[in-house]
């Protein structure tokens, strides 16, 4: 279920950082997600395609690119996801806009 539309001050600061990264790297989307052991929660999202990525959306953690990267099944920087069969099997690879990916774990 999508989250409230008003961000806290901390969330807005994260959004500002994500927006800078998104523009600097020429990305369509940048997000901060939380993994709780079973679920990935999109906490703060900056996107050019809001109909595909929304704050508050969740998905099974085991099927995410983030988890595959944490499990070392995929590298942290992926210039072309189509070159990685392991990544192409994941649900997010079906989204036409996801073809490159950078993951930075925040602990």
Q: Mean pLDDT in the chain? A: 89
Measure the N-to-C terminal CA separation of the chain; round to a whole number of Å.
Answer: 25
pLDDT digits (tens, 9 = 90+) for 19-58: 999 999 888 889 999 999 999 999 999 988 777 788 999 9
**pLDDT of 17 higher than 90:** yes
Reported as type and span, the H/E element at residue 31 is strand 29-35
Mean pLDDT to the nearest integer, 71-85? 94
pLDDT confidence of residue 4:
53
- Single pTM value for the model: 0.83
Instruction: Give the confidence band of 98 by pLDDT, cuts at 50, 70, 90.
Output: confident
SS3 assignment, position 10: helix
């Amino acid at each position: 279920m999508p989250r409230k539309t008003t961000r806290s001050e901390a969330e807005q600061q994260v959004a500002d950082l994500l927006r800078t990264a998104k523009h600097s790297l020429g990305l369509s989307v940048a997000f901060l997600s939380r993994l709780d052991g079973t679920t990935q929660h999109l906490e703060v999202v900056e996107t050019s395609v809001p109909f595909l990525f929304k704050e508050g959306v969740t998905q099974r953690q085991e099927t995410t690119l983030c988890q595959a990267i944490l499990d070392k099944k995929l590298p942290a920087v992926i210039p072309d996801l189509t070159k990685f069969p392991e990544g192409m099997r994941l649900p997010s690879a079906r989204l036409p806009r996801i073809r490159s990916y950078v993951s930075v774990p925040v602990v």
